[in-house]
Amino acid sequence: MSGKSVAVGSDHAGYEMKGALIDELRTLGCEVLDLGCDGPASVDYPDFGKAVANAVAEGRADRGVIVCGTGIGISIAANRNPRVRAALCHDETSARLAREHNDANILALGARLVGPEVARGCLRVFLSTEFAGGRHTARVAKLGN
């Protein structure tokens, strides 16, 4: 995992979890691009989903992590970018399969739905799992990339 660059963004509901995930990323030796938000004051999740999506799509980051209250809204915002495959994950299995089968490039998490240990586990698995290719390649191609 060391050497990967990861863009990270959240809204106010995900702010605390974003900080914990940034700490985990640095422990893993990743370069972190923190795209906000910068505190617990209310903000609009689409702005941060879009910022992370653009960073990944433009190649400024290898992968992305986005967090809002449920992970739903921010993942919808990120997936508006045709070069992004943001996957909302709730456990390590969904994070692994998002990478193996869907070549997801952004991990979405819901801070109100998963605890910090589960979130860190999802992050580690998401970063360490490679796309399986094979039969999945044609399917992922149909997603627009």
C-beta of residue 41 within 8 angstroms of C-beta of residue 35: no
Q: How far, in Å, are 25, 57, 63, 72, 82 from residue 79 at the CA level? A: 23, 11, 14, 11, 7
Q: CA torsion 111→51→2→93, rounded to 10°?
A: 40
Active site residue 68: yes
Q: Determine which one of 68, 89, 90, 122 is catalytic.
A: 68
Active site residue 122: no
d(CA 133, CA 112): 33
Q: What residue type is assigned to position 4 of the chain?
A: K
- Total number of residues shown for the chain: 145
C-beta of residue 16 within 8 angstroms of C-beta of residue 69: no
Catalytically annotated residues? 68, 101
